[in-house]
Amino acid sequence: MTSQTTLSTQLGGATRQKKPDWMTPAAPYGMVFLLIAELIFFTVMAPETFATRASFNVVVSNSAILGLIVMALLVSLIAGEIDASLPAVLTVASLSAAALMSHLGWPLVPAVMASILVASCIGLCNGLLVVKFRVPSLITTLGTFTILTAAITGLASGRVIEAGLPKETLKLLSKPKPLGLPLTLYYLMIVAVIVWYVTEHTPLGRQWKAIGSSAPAARMAGIRSDRLKLQAFAAGGFLAGIAGTVQLFKARLGSPNVGPDLLFPGLTTAFLSAAAFRLGTYNVRGAILSIAVIQFGITGLILICAPYWMDQIFTGSALILSLAIVRVMRRSSQ
């Protein structure tokens, strides 16, 4: 008995008080400090322009749609897969809702519901391809991304759908600014809270995390990995559908151009989420913080008149550095 107790003291006892886990307590909040440092830096560098309501509004309005697509991407990432087609699904949802209203004269609510259903089905199809044929999801969904993007271009001929949309209703759904913040930000907050709740506080989310951590181990623990993966893909499609709907509200027209451009910023932000709060795990709070860090950074760089390509260098470096730091910290703690 005595030998076991001393062993435990040596293995963990001495360091336990300082380290609640395998990391220093401050590490999960490193990105919070980064955000604060960034805000101070740009406030000092561009005092007249950065710390203003106008620049804040720019950040917020850029963040909403990106944030929604990041939420959609997070679900499949947590479940150990990746659905790169989601930005294209967003466009499909937004265009199909617009087309249903414009060409077929559907009312807003059924049109939106139908387009979200379509988006969920596309997600489910991606899931089926991955689960049934065991093709790596990145490859499968890059394929569907390319197909969907081409189909959008072909069917919409590059034109926006504007005629016959209920402009007034759409305005009502996007224009108001409760407490001075755009309504789209509230949509993002509602979706983020729901995704956070499902991924971190329900058995479903924990099981997604389990299959993301090791699908074979999950299977042998009696967890149905295939079914859960299908659910994750369908949920991703559903959330991309919502993102498309909000995009429609915001633009008040169906545009074929928005979605595909979100692929890389969306993935970058989703990956970066693993460097905050729950290190090594894709998580909602980390994603929201990542959006803030990247969007304030980009806006700040514009305001201090950095060259236009600087923002991408900033985003890329932030991603690589943060994840490399997380890796190094985990290794040194082994």
Partner 1 sequence: MNQNPLLSVVDLHKTLIGNHILQGINLTVAQAEIHALMGGNGAGKSTLIKCLSGYWSIDKGSIKVNGAALQLGAKQIAFVQQDLGLIQSLSVAENISLGVGYQTGSFGNIRWREMNAAAADLLAGLGHSGIDPRAEIGRLNLVQRTAVAIARATQGLKVGAKLLVLDEPTAALPSTEIGALFETLERLRATGIGMIYVSHHPSEVFRLCDRISVLREGKLIATKNTKETSEAQIVELMLGRTLQKTVKTPGQKGQQTAAPVLSLTGVCGQKIKDITLTIGKGEVVGLTGLQGSGCTELAEIIFGAQSCEAGKMVLDGQPVVFAHPAEAVAAGVGMVTEDRHGNGSFAEASLGENITATDLRRFFRNGWMTGTAEAAEVDGLVADFKVQPPHGQRRFSSFSGGNQQKAILAKWMRLNPRLLICDQPDIGVDIGSKNVIYAALRDAAAKGAAVIVISNQHDDLEAICDRVLVMRAGRIVAELSGADATEHKISLATIGTQVQVKELT
Q: Token match 């951590």: residue?
A: 213
Q: Which is nearer to partner 1, 127 or 182 (CB)?
A: 127
Query: Tokens 């971190």 map to which residue?
Result: 200
Residue number, 15 or 257, with CB nearest to partner 1: 15
Q: Give me the 241-260 binding string for partner 1, x by CB under 8 A, dash otherwise.
A: --------------------
How far is CA 196 from each of CA 82, 266, 284, rounded to the nearest angstrom? 18, 17, 6
Amino acid at 165: L
Q: Which stretch binds partner 1 (CB under 8 A): 15-23, 72-80, 121-129, 313-321?
A: 15-23
Site size for partner 1, by CB under 8 A? 40
Q: Which is nearer to partner 1, 3 or 157 (CB)?
A: 3
Q: Segment near partner 1 (CB under 8 A), from 19-27, 90-98, 117-125, 229-237?
A: 19-27
CB under 8 Å to 138, separation ≥6 — which residues?
Answer: 82, 84
Q: How far apart are alpha carbons 252 and 254 in whole angstroms?
A: 7
First-last CA distance in the chain = 26
Q: How far is the CB of 235 from partner 1 (least distance, A)?
A: 18
Q: What is the dihedral angle through the alpha carbons of 206, 212, 215, 221, rounded to the nearest 10 degrees? A: -20
When asked if residue 220 is in the footprint of partner 1 (CB under 8 A), the reply is yes
- Does position 317 interact with partner 1 (CB under 8 A)? The reply is no
Q: Which x/- pattern, by CB under 8 A, does the window 21-60 give for partner 1?
A: xx--------------------------------------
In the complex, minimum distance from the CB of residue 188 to partner 1, in angstroms, rounded to a whole number: 22
Site for partner 1 in 172-211 (CB under 8 A): 200-203, 206-207, 209-210
| Kind and range of the H or E run holding 291 | helix 284-303
Residue from 59, 186, 219, 325 binding partner 1 (CB under 8 A)? 219
* Beta pairing partners, 323: none
CA dihedral 232, 236, 242, 246 (to 10 degrees): 150
Q: Is 333 in the site for partner 1 (CB under 8 A)?
A: yes
Segment near partner 1 (CB under 8 A); pick from 6-14, 67-75, 115-123, 270-278? 6-14
Q: Which of 150, 193, 221, 321 binds partner 1 (CB under 8 A)?
A: 221
Cβ partners under 8 Å of residue 233, min gap 6: 76, 81, 83, 123, 124, 126, 127, 130
Among residues 6, 33, 136, 168, the one that binds partner 1 under rule CB under 8 A: 6
User: CB-wise, 2 or 157, nearer to partner 1?
Assistant: 2
Nearest residue to 244 via CA among 315, 157, 148, 140: 148
3 touching partner 1, by CB under 8 A: yes
Tell how far CA 124 is from the center of its chain.
18
Q: 31, 286 in Cβ contact below 8 A?
A: yes
Interface residue with partner 1, options 110, 214, 313, 316 (CB under 8 A): 214
Binding stretches for partner 1 (CB under 8 A): 1-4, 6-8, 10-16, 20-22, 200-203, 206-207, 209-210, 213-214, 216-224, 280, 332-334
